[in-house]
Homo-oligomer: A and B are copies of this chain.
Amino acid sequence: MMDLNLIGKSSKIAAMELAKLSTKVKNFVLVKSAQDLIRNSQKILDINKKDVEEAIKNKVKDAFIDRLTLTEARIESMANGLIQVASLNDPVGEYIFTKTLPNGLIVGQKRVPLGVIAIIFESRPNVTVDAFGLCLKSGNASILRGGKEAINTNKTIVEILRTSLSENKLNPDIVQIITDTSHETADKLLKLNKYIDVLIPRGGANLINNVIENSTIPCIQTGLGNCHIYIDESGDLNKAVDIIINAKTQRPGVCNSVEKLLIHEKIASKFLPIIGNALREKNVEIRGDKEVLKYVKDAKLATEIDWHTEYEDYIIGIKVLKDLDEAINHINEYGTKHSEAIITENYTNSQKFLNEIDAAAVYVNASTRFTDGEQFGFGAEIGISTQKLHARGPMGLKELTSTKYIIYGNGQIRE
């Protein structure tokens, strides 16, 4: 078993060194490591091929294989990601405010790195590079634990990044990877609060629930998205069809795609046949309540489990409801507090929905697919937080920082 204490300790030391680096040095290293990734493309592709072959042998799902597989273009895209992060503003060192108190003390609140960030993720190797880049730019050392299916690819990528750091005279422990994929090691990692300042799990409900149940490290939950679109009585049905098809089928495997439609009963008989046809054309399986089954012949009857489920697939649940209040209650009960939308032409209803839905992002007349750091203009994201503490919604560089009060005195004592 790996000595996690050793990893934690060396990561803490690397974080303290990294916190002192100028933005210029950090940007330089980001660009250098992007170049090193490109230079080592063939090495990465060769090892990735082995991971993919192993995964195929183990008969994992096609969508999974797709996420695991790297190509020259995908490596280039990861490298470009690092160059893009280099171009973003560095939040570290920013003063949120500075003021002089009546006693002459000067108090400033300054952004500082969080320290050591651990990220547990499933099998997309691009997360390795993204996490390294965003953590480095925000002054944080990272400890990465990816899924076992991508272990060789991730190991090779991290080796390249560490070599890049060393060659540029930085501590390679700025990024470390947990190569031991045993459950024992995972459980130990969750208790390493002595060294790790923040833990970010990225993955499915099981991973996230395990982290919440067992971790002693402050966590940021990300990425569970049982997202809804409610079509109000007054909704523009043409807009509704476009938005629903986009939110469901533009990329069904991601967390901001829509999983459930809630339809006002007064428009059900008109809208259900239309949306039923549109979804069928895109090969989306429909699971509906009894009311839905009346109008959409090939729909399956939805069960209680469906209302809780994030399909991440060409499947959608549809429910007919009495009114907006019922829709709000349903979403606040079954949603994962990620992204929720209303289609309406009614002003008061739009405001009520925005105010009363408890979620990271709430939309009027737009696709839920926009909940994304790049779409919102943050440049990049490490994940989408669905919790309320620290960060909510797409997390960019700023969300990877903490603050510190800096106080300049000249002998002040408290009366």
Q: A: which residues have CB within 8 A of B?
A: 16, 19-20, 99, 101, 105, 107, 109, 114-115, 193, 197-198, 212-213, 216, 218-220, 236, 239, 242-243, 245-247, 250, 332, 354-356, 358-367, 369-371, 375-377, 387-390, 392-393, 402-414
Contacts and interface: CB of A to CB of B under 8 A. Distances in A.
A243 B115 contact: no
A411 B213 contact: no
Nearest to A362: B406
Given A20-B355, A360-B404, A198 B411 contact: no
Contacts of A107: 376-377
B101 A411 contact: no
A97 to B, nearest CB: 10
A403 B390 CA distance: 9
B236 A411 contact: yes
A369 B413 contact: yes
Given A358-B115, A362-B404, A414-B370, A212 B198 contact: no
A414 B367 contact: yes
B216 A212 contact: yes
B389 A99 contact: no
Nearest to A394: B405
Contact of A212 (B193, B245, B366): B193
Contact of A413 (B198, B367, B388, B411): B367
Contacts of A408: 364-366
A387 B218 contact: yes
A90 B107 CA distance: 22
Contact of A402 (B236, B247, B388): B388
Contact of A367 (B213, B363, B367, B412): B412
Contacts of A198: 388-389
Nearest to A215: B216
Contacts of A414: 246, 250, 367, 369-370, 375
Nearest to A110: B354
A366 B218 contact: no
Contact of A364 (B216, B367, B407): B407
B409 A197 contact: no
B362 A407 contact: yes
A242 B411 contact: yes
Contacts of A363: 407, 409
Nearest to A365: B409
